[in-house]
Amino acid sequence: MENSKKEYILCGVFAAIVIVMSILSPDRFLSLYNLQTMAFQLPEFGIIALGMMMVILTGGINLSITAGSALAGIMAAFILSGTIMAGSNIVLAIAVAIGVILLTSVLIGLLNGFVVAYIGVTPILVTLGSQILYEGISMWLTKGGAISNFPEAYYWFGNESIGPIPVPLIIFVIIAVVTYILLEKTPWGARVYMVGSNPTAAIFSGIDIKRILMQVYVYSALLAGCAAVIMLSRYNSAKVDLGSSYLLQSVAAVVLGGTNIAGGHGKVFGTVVAVAILQVISSGLNILGVNRFIIDMITGAILIAVLTLNILSNRRQSLRKDDPILDQAA
């Protein structure tokens, strides 16, 4: 019941923001161009947010998610730009490039997961270090520049539509549905939640925590790789800071969507709605001429506010459990 209540509130907030932006700039915000732009921008942000949510559910965090996505994209960009497979079959080159993205993502996830699960280093320190590592490798590979000039056929993943629906949006919906099924309809999902909510109980239940953590970090990295597939196509280039702006935004979306930053609780639907809220805010403020730095400040303020409210709410619930009188009064 509590989860449904939060999701209804999120949907109400989303509707309210859309109404406000429509009133402030009806001609531009509700224009077909702006709606299409949001439909093409939201998927890459949403996929990264889902990857971040997976790790946060276990009580961790993945600060290297965008750096890993950029590195995977850069590896594929060498193939797409023709520096490695010059003159080769375009379809084959695209298939190999996507395969390289996914393989690189798996390796990135295995590295992060291994250090967190088997070495026992705190996730925030591991992923902060790996973020610097991946950015360094990307800088070395690109010499600080951008790799571009991909085959026109590759633009399909980030710039085309099937009927009225953008291809990136279709990819995002598929990934969101798959993630929902994994978390809500499979024993693996129940284990992920248990690892995040009570690791000790998970161990006594016979759950291999280390294996679960490894799988979660690999899945998170794979989602970042899927986002890289779309971003490479949309921007027709790959560079060190590819998707870097989504790091803070993804954490904000996950927390705003109701995921407990300490782990053990969170829903795909909440994260998806929160992504839509932040996307509408960003697009609306851009239309109104608000500076990009101010939009980032607003995102940060939302993150701090939601974290504060969640902590206060958790404390109040703890007091209710400890005091039967307060619990009955509530």
Distance of CA 136 to the CA centre of its chain: 22
Encode pLDDT of 38-94 as tens digits.
999 899 999 999 999 999 999 999 999 999 999 999 999 988 887 545 556 788 888
Query: What value does the mean pLDDT take over residues 239-257?
Result: 90
What is the structure's pLDDT at 121?
93
Encode pLDDT of 203-215 as tens digits.
888 899 999 999 9
CATH of 2-311, picked from 3.30.70, 2.50.20, 3.15.10, 1.10.3470, is: 1.10.3470
What is the structure's pLDDT at 322?
56
Encode pLDDT of 97-151 as tens digits.
999 999 999 999 999 999 999 999 999 999 999 999 999 999 999 988 888 888 8
Helix crossing, 187-197 with 209-235: angle to 10°?
100
d(CA 99, CA 225): 10
Beta pairing partners, 148: 237
Integer-rounded Cα radius of gyration of the chain? 21
**pTM (2 decimals)?**
0.90
d(CA 193, CA 164): 37
Q: Which residue has the higher pLDDT, 303 or 172?
A: 172
Identify the helix (H) or strand (E) that includes residue 46. helix 32-57
pLDDT of 243 strictly over 90: no
Confidence bin at 315 (pLDDT 50/70/90): confident
- Which residue carries 């939201």 as its tokens? 42
Closest alpha carbon to 279 in 105, 8, 35: 35
Query: What value does the mean pLDDT take over residues 297-325?
Result: 72
- Domain segments of the chain: what residues? 2-311
Q: At 163, list the tokens.
A: 């009927």
d(CA 57, CA 52): 9
